[in-house]
Structures are given as C-alpha cells and as structure tokens.
Amino acid sequence: MANTSAVYARIDTGLKENAEGILSKLGISPTSAIQMLYSQIVLQRGMPFELRLPDTVPTSIGGMSREELDRELGKGVESLHAGNGVSADEVDAVLMREFGI
C-alpha cells in the first residue's frame, strides 16, 4: 500500500455540498479531487489557477448616474418578465459568496 497522509480542512457546508455534487456527476471522489489539486500544485510549482481580486465591485446607487441606474433597473425588470426571479435568500447567498457582504 502507498504511503499516505490525511489532510483535514474545515470549509463552508454549502460550498462542500455544491462541490461534491459536481464531483459526483463527474465520477470523481473528493479524495481524488484533492489529489489532483495537489498534483497540479507540485507540477506547476504554485496554484494551478490565477489568484486575483475581482475586477468589479458592487456600486452603490449614489455612485451611479441616472442613466446607469435606469439601465440596471431595466435589466431587473426584463429578468423578472423572463421568469428569472430569485428569492431574497438566494440574493443574500450570492452577495456573501461573491463579495463577502
């Protein structure tokens, strides 16, 4: 048997469940995914993806022109008419995940 070590990490429950659901559909176990990540870190001598801050941040209404505000509100109205409405809880989850707010 190969010489192995355990890796323990605490991560957000929702993130874990979402990632494991995707991995399951791909036929990859969480252990295999971690093994793949570590292998790529060794091969690339660093993280196997770019690490940087997002280019955009949420803009406050006070920082928008009237035209920008109308355009953004129009996008929301179009989305609702297309049946793409989401609950306040879903919005909160996205804001937390993407912007930490």
Q: What CATH number does residue 25 fall under?
A: 1.10.1220.10
Kindly state whether residues 2 and 43 are assigned to the same domain.
yes
pLDDT tier at 1 (50, 70, 90 boundaries)? Answer: low
Kindly state whether residues 45 and 86 are assigned to the same domain.
no
- Domain extent, residue 74, equals 61-99
d(CA 101, CA 93): 9
Residue 53 has pLDDT above 90, yes or no: no
**Contact of 29 with 36, CB cutoff 8 Å:** no
In degrees and rounded to multiples of 5, residue 72 shows phi and psi of -65, -40
Kindly state whether residues 23 and 1 are assigned to the same domain.
yes
Kindly state whether residues 44 and 73 are assigned to the same domain.
no
Kindly state whether residues 45 and 68 are assigned to the same domain.
no
DSSP alpha helix (H) spans, the chain = 13-26, 30-44, 66-81, 88-99
Kindly state whether residues 47 and 4 are assigned to the same domain.
yes
d(CA 31, CA 27): 12
Count of domains in the chain?
Answer: 2
User: Average pLDDT in the 55-73 region?
Assistant: 81
Q: Is 77 helix (H, G, I), strand (E, B) or coil?
A: helix
Look up residue 89 and give its two tokens. 């809880």
Kindly state whether residues 39 and 75 are assigned to the same domain.
no
Of 68 and 56, the one with more pLDDT: 68
Q: Give me the chain's average pLDDT, please.
A: 89
